[in-house]
Amino acid sequence: ARFKIIKAGKRFGKSHWAGFEFIQMGFRHPGLYWYIAPTIGQAREIMWDFLKSTIPPALMIGNPLNTDLEINLNLFDRGTSKLKCKGTDNETSLRGPGISGGIMDEAAYDETDGYAWPNILRGQLAKSKGPFYFISSPHKNGKNWFTKLCESAQARERSGDKEWPYWHRTIYDNPILDPKEIEDIRIGCTDDKWRLEYLAEESDYGGLLVS
């Protein structure tokens, strides 16, 4: 599928999945690929070290560019690819070049509040017709643009559209976590926060103050 959406709770492993998918995008087809977090600081913290430690140096062209958060891949007789980390906190940096694909991590916390995808990024995929994936836990304040994106994908799936598959995953779907550890986390949370943060279930009343 060209577009994939995963709504997942904390500790499911969504950012590790994103990292491996991002690297594979770059090796499947030559081009420019973006990993996009809410802020450039988060992109560096979540993904940059993972990329540098996972991609074999022999498959890189030169050294990773730490200032630009950029790695150039050697696809040998197929050409080259560029992996670059970005943040939605700098909307201007998302404008300009066409891209071959990308991943938006923690999409619910997009600093443009959903503006970047349809109005900037979608158009930059027009020439390449490349893949783009969205992964996120729900926003702490409840439903927002990412919720609508998930609902739209589900509606597309029901109508037979196979280009927008949707998955909902929770902390229980991570096979490497100790069930006792999960239970200890659950006991330490209020029910609403447990459902929001770890089961990825938004509430219509998220973020509201109750007097």
**Distant-in-sequence, close-in-space partners of 170: CB < 8 Å, separation ≥ 6:** 8, 9, 12, 198, 199, 200
- Report the SS3 class of residue 71: strand
Residues 145-193 pLDDT 10s: 999 999 999 999 999 999 999 999 998 988 888 999 999 999 999 988 8
pTM over 0.85: yes
Task: Give pLDDT, residue 196.
Answer: 86
Task: Give pLDDT, residue 209.
Answer: 39
Instruction: Check the CA dihedral 201-204-209-210 and report its sign.
Output: negative
As a whole number, mean pLDDT of residues 22-42 equals 97
Where does 121-206 show beta strands of DSSP type E? 132-136, 166-169
DSSP 184: H
Decide: 174 and 168 in contact? Cβ < 8 Å.
no
